[in-house]
Structure 1
Amino acid sequence: MRRLTLIILLVCLGLSAHSQINNLSSFDGRLLHYGIQVGYTQSKFDLKFSENSALRDSMQGVTSYYNAGFHIAVIGDLRIWKYFNLRLLPGVTIINRELSYSWEHAFFDAHPHLDIRRNVESVYGEIPLEFRYRAMRWKNFRPYVTGGITYGFDFSSLRKNKNNNDEAIVRLNPHEVHYTIGFGLDFFLKYVKFAIDIKAGFGIINLWVEDDDIYSRSADYLKSRTLMFSFTFEG
């Protein structure tokens, strides 16, 4: 996170040298333009622990932690009004989320407390639809806020099969929907528009799929939580 913040700061300082001349002065007047987005993702699960599971299996809790990922998308931007744009960003997101299961076994004197971790790898094909409100341009800078909704399909779910009870794979609903809110800053360079974008995503639907094993009975619901740091190039 510190390294990413430093990179963003250095990029902003470097681009500020171009602010004396108004680059791409007619760019935002276009009805339609395209671009590409690449970025870094931090993802985890928001979940509710099942108390019934704790009574039945001596499980004390389930915790999820943020893990790193990557996303890439193409951009289609439609100008609606002077300050509003509608954007479609179909792309791919690769993430690896982790679940930690806490157990208590009073009859095990040597190891009464045990944590078991399961990785949940996902490769989402996503179709985000976003609305963007842009402030007035100042020289070669233009801040904005954005919000939207994203549908995703987890292609890795097609190959997830449970091998045995010791290495049970956590199964998720392959269909995922979340809403996003965020902000960013456009930099108008000589030939392209560059932007730094920060968004948060909040899952809407329950991803949890219950199987006949102790791990899948450990939660009542599970939803996605995502932080996205993106760089966009539009021309």
Structure 2
Amino acid sequence: MKKSTFVILALLSIQFSNAQIFGGESITNQENIDNQKWSWGYYLGFNTYDFDFDYIDYEPDTKPDIRVETRVGFNVGLVGNLKLDNNLDLRFEPGVNFSTRGFQSLKSDINTYREINSTYVHLPLLIKFSANRLNNFKPFVVGGVSTSINLSSNQNNPDDNSAGQFRMKANTYNYEVGFGIDLYLYYFKFTPTLRGVFTINDELVRDADPNSIYTGNIDKMSSRGVFLNFTFQ
């Protein structure tokens, strides 16, 4: 699946929301769903993860030491929503994210490619600020903090890149920002959300060799992710 999947699905969501507003819709669906103090749901979605690097020695006019290849992964999880007032909600969205990245050092002529498969238990706590509902449509912005547990980190593996093992720290701490649209359908509320996830801490476990072409010149490595989730409530 290519990155264009994100664009296609986002355009479909926008097209659907336009039909809700301008298509002559006169029936108000799910009139009382937002009046509940607590509400629950689940989500399915897609992700793409990248790395952001800070180097110890780096010349602005030279190419970076590391090339990262991004791919599309999969998200699944649950939603717990606490209504604070008419336009403000507190949300907890525990889930599991499956991702794959390619990592390659450009400082050697030999094959240095590493495929990094990650399974994250993702635990975000978010504030959702919504506009007033218009017919069966309500846009919102969302932001908050999260922690992730990388079940595939290899943090405690004694082998490093000299033995073909790329290692990352198991725990990450992130901040998240995004936006979305609540679409009130006949049987349920459907919510597409596009969100950026930015890791704060350094995730890299360094090789034993301080001059390693993989980790020697990296001062900090942290993940950046884009999530496109579809929530059903």
Q: Same fold (TM over 0.5)?
A: yes
Whether the 8 Å contact between 1:46 and 1:64 is mirrored in structure 2 is: no
Structure 2 counterpart of 1:186: 182
Instruction: Please state how far the C-alpha of 1:44 moved relative to its aligned partner.
Output: 0.8
Say whether residues 1:28 and 2:29 are aligned partners: no
CA contact (8 A) 1:201 1:226 kept: yes
The Cα shift of 1:208 comes to: 1.1
Which residue matches 1:10? Answer: 12
The correspondence of residues 83-98 of structure 1 with structure 2, limited to 5 A, is 83-98=87-102
Partner of 1:42: 48
Q: How far apart are the structure 1 equivalents of 2:227 and 2:64?
A: 31
Aligned residue in 2 for 1:66: 70
Q: Look up the SS of the partner of 1:4 in the other structure.
A: helix
String of CA shifts for 1:120-172, please: whole Å, max 9, x gaps.
Answer: 21111111100000000000000000001111111113587466755521111
C-alpha RMSD of the superposition? 2.4
Structure 1 gaps of 5+ residues are 53-58, 105-112
Provide the TM-score with structure 1 as the length reference.
Answer: 0.84
Quote the offset at 1:8 in angstroms. 3.5
- Answer yes or no: is the 8 Å Cα contact 1:44–1:98 preserved in 2: no
Moved over 6 A (4+): none
* The structure with more radius of gyration: 1
The answer on whether the counterparts of 1:94 and 1:122 sit within 8 Å (CA) in structure 2 is: yes
Identity of aligned residues (%): 26
Q: Retained in 2: the 8 A contact 1:102–1:115?
A: no
State the 1:9 CA deviation: 2.8
Which residue identity is paired with 1:51?
D
2:220 matches 1:221: yes
Q: 2: CA distance between counterparts of 1:163 and 1:176?
A: 21
**Contact 1:103/1:114 (8 A) holds in 2:** no
Partner residue in 2 for 1:51: 57
Amino acid at match of 2:30: L
User: Which position in structure 1 is the counterpart of 2:173?
Assistant: 177
Aligned length: 220
Give distance in 1, aligned partners of 2:57 and 2:155: 30
Superposed CA deviations along residues 73-106 of structure 1, whole A, max 9, x for unmatched, are: 10000000110000001110111122221125xx
CA contact (8 A) 1:88 1:128 kept: yes
The residue aligned with 2:197 is 201
